[in-house]
């Protein structure tokens, strides 16, 4: 079975969120971040992974299909109980080196692995 669409990816990776009525809107939003030039035939799978990542972050922030869970802007990288300090990961560029935004969920980590597999970087060849 091929996984070609974001809906198929969500059904496989996040079955509890597969019935969410906002999925078409999430797919439109994911198209801003996931380029077919980068991911090729895996674009639908990559979009689905990003949407699953968003669902995980939303659930951590207390959101569900009727509330947005606003305030959950990224993965938490630091917590402090005395004087209550909470630090979120930088989400300015998802695929930049050292960025912890996608590392906040297993779906985000898989998307990073897929990104690294799809990108062919220039290499020096020694003969």
Distance (Å, whole) CA 14 – CA 103 = 17
Q: What angle do CA 76, 81, 83 make, to 5 degrees?
A: 110
The mean per-residue pLDDT over the stretch 61-69 comes to 55
Q: What is the pLDDT of residue 47?
A: 96
Split at pLDDT 50, 70, 90, the class of 70 is very low
Nearest to 42 by CA among 118, 124, 125, 127: 118
More confident residue, 103 or 67: 103
Q: What angle do CA 56, 61, 67 make, to 5 degrees?
A: 95
Model confidence at 83: pLDDT above 80: no
**What does the domain layout of the chain look like in residue ranges?**
6-118
The residues pairing with 80 across neighbouring beta strands, listed in sequence order, are 85
Split at pLDDT 50, 70, 90, the class of 102 is confident
Q: What is the pLDDT of residue 69?
A: 44
Q: What is the pLDDT of residue 23?
A: 94
> Rounded to two decimals, what is the model's pTM?
0.73
């Amino acid at each position: 079975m091929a996984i070609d669409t974001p809906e198929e990816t969500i059904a496989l990776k996040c079955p509890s969120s597969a019935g969410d009525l906002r999925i078409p809107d999430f797919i439109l939003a994911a198209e801003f971040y996931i380029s077919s030039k980068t991911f090729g035939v895996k674009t639908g799978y990559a979009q689905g992974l990003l949407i699953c990542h968003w669902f995980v972050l939303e659930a951590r922030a207390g959101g569900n299909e009727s509330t947005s869970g606003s305030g959950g802007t990224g993965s938490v990288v630091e917590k402090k109980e005395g004087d209550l300090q909470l630090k979120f990961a930088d989400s300015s560029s998802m695929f930049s080196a050292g960025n912890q935004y996608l590392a906040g969920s297993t779906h985000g980590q898989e998307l990073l692995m897929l990104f690294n597999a799809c990108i062919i970087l220039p290499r020096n060849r020694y003969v």
